[in-house]
Chain A
Amino acid sequence: MSRSTSPDPPADLLGPVQGEVSWFCCGTAWGPCSSTGKGACGTCNSGSMQHAWPNTSDACWAITRPDSCGVGLSRRTCGFRHRTTALCSGVSVVTAIADCGPQTDLFCGERSCCGATCADNRLIDLTPAAYSQIASLSTGLRPCEISAA
């Protein structure tokens, strides 16, 4: 399975990794979310403390491909807990994996900053309930640090 392993050790294996965090809706809800469903793990709900991770399975990795932006990420499966900390404010939230995403490869090299601190590439997507704990939903995209919780 050469597709699922990148030549470098995963960036999040030894310590926190910095990247961009966004939010997504899930669970059959209103608006464009109506067709989204419960996510790859079958448990995703916008109101729950959950997130999407780009490497939950081989099939997931084949879609998100963070390695094409030069980022290796560890395989973490449904229910695994990550802590996402907003850079600058230091506010953090712990969530459990409920879906596959974001599509890191489609936004390679994108950068978000707050103050003088910046982070590259989309590495995690939080549910609205989780994202709104660390930033306003209207921000849409923020730099963050991700670690295993």
Chain B
Amino acid sequence: MHGIAASQPYVIAVFLIWAGLMKLLSRRMRAQAGQTALARLTGATRAVPALRLVGLVELAVAAALLLPPVHPLDGVAAALLAAGFLAYLSYAYVAAPTSSCGCLGAHSRPVDLRAFLRAGVLLAAGLVAIGAGPYPPLAPLVLLEVVILLGLSAELDRYWLTPTRRLLVRLRRPLAALPPGDVPLETTLHLLRRSPAYCSASARLTSDVRETWDEDGVRFLVYGARERSAVFAVPLAGDDPAAIRVALVDEAALA
């Protein structure tokens, strides 16, 4: 039990040092400060000084946690800081739902459930750390907690989550080509829009595709062209836009 409490200052310190250094040193984070929820809270002009101030406080608390002597106030400070994060995240979620949090690195994703879980774990760690005595930490526990917190950090997704998903997609091929069936209409339309025939007629078209049917290896498409109709004939085989033909027809005469 003592070991669990004694482990928490190290877990929290790792995160506070990361967060503090990012805020003080990352140029990208400062450049994006205006798009974080912090900017909404402090005003855009004060976002960067506020970011620096929070970074300094985080580093100071991290130093207090790591340096002896062990004091319950260290844990109190860490818990207060984590509670502050939670309050800030709640504010960001409500007041600036499209802004990123500006917590641990530059990214553009808004506050989500994982950000709340991470702040919650840090708060719990801070509360446990209040009871920490001069005991050796449990290395496997510190490692496990750090891994969980890293897993909850959207800032790091591109280093592990995105490559993992890419690998899975490569192995499982969830969008593998379906057995060839009929030519999709969109394929025909894309070819049609590139054709000189469509080009010459497009100024007169007043509707989208009204009717389409396949006959003798040719796909016919009918568009409205004011009081007339534009009929296109697109060969289903091949992809030469020049083979497409068009006619303007007076539909009233057909009736």
Contacts and interface: CB of A to CB of B under 8 A. Distances in A.
Interface in A97-149: 113-117, 135-139, 142
Interface string A30-63: 0000010000000000000000000000010010
B203 A114 contact: no
A13 interface: no
B194 A113 contact: yes
Contacts of B67: none
A89 B199 contact: yes
A88 interface: yes
B34 A115 contact: no
- The SS class assigned to the B binding surface is helix
A115 B196 contact: yes
A91 interface: yes
A136 B208 contact: yes
Contacts of B200: 88, 115
Given A88-B202, A89-B202, A136-B208, A116 B34 contact: no
Interface string B219-231: 0000000000000
Contacts of A116: 196
A136 B97 CA distance: 33
Interface size class on chain B is: 20 to 34
A111 to B, nearest CB: 11
- The SS class assigned to the A binding surface is mixed
A26 interface: no
Interface residues of A, number: 19
A90 B203 contact: yes
Contact of A86 (B98, B194, B202): B202
Interface of B: 31, 34-35, 97-98, 189, 193-196, 198-200, 202-203, 205, 207-209, 241
The 6 closest A-B pairs by CB, nearest first: A88-B199, A115-B199, A89-B202, A89-B203, A136-B208, A115-B196
30 contacts: A35-B97, A35-B98, A62-B31, A86-B202, A88-B198, A88-B200, A88-B202, A89-B199, A89-B202, A89-B203, A91-B202, A91-B203, A114-B193, A114-B194, A114-B198, A114-B199, A115-B194, A115-B195, A115-B196, A115-B198, A115-B199, A116-B196, A117-B199, A136-B205, A137-B208, A138-B189, A138-B208, A138-B209, A139-B193, A142-B193
Given A88-B199, A115-B200, 13 more contacts: A86-B202, A88-B202, A91-B203, A114-B199, A115-B194, A115-B196, A115-B198, A135-B202, A136-B205, A138-B189, A138-B208, A139-B189, A142-B193
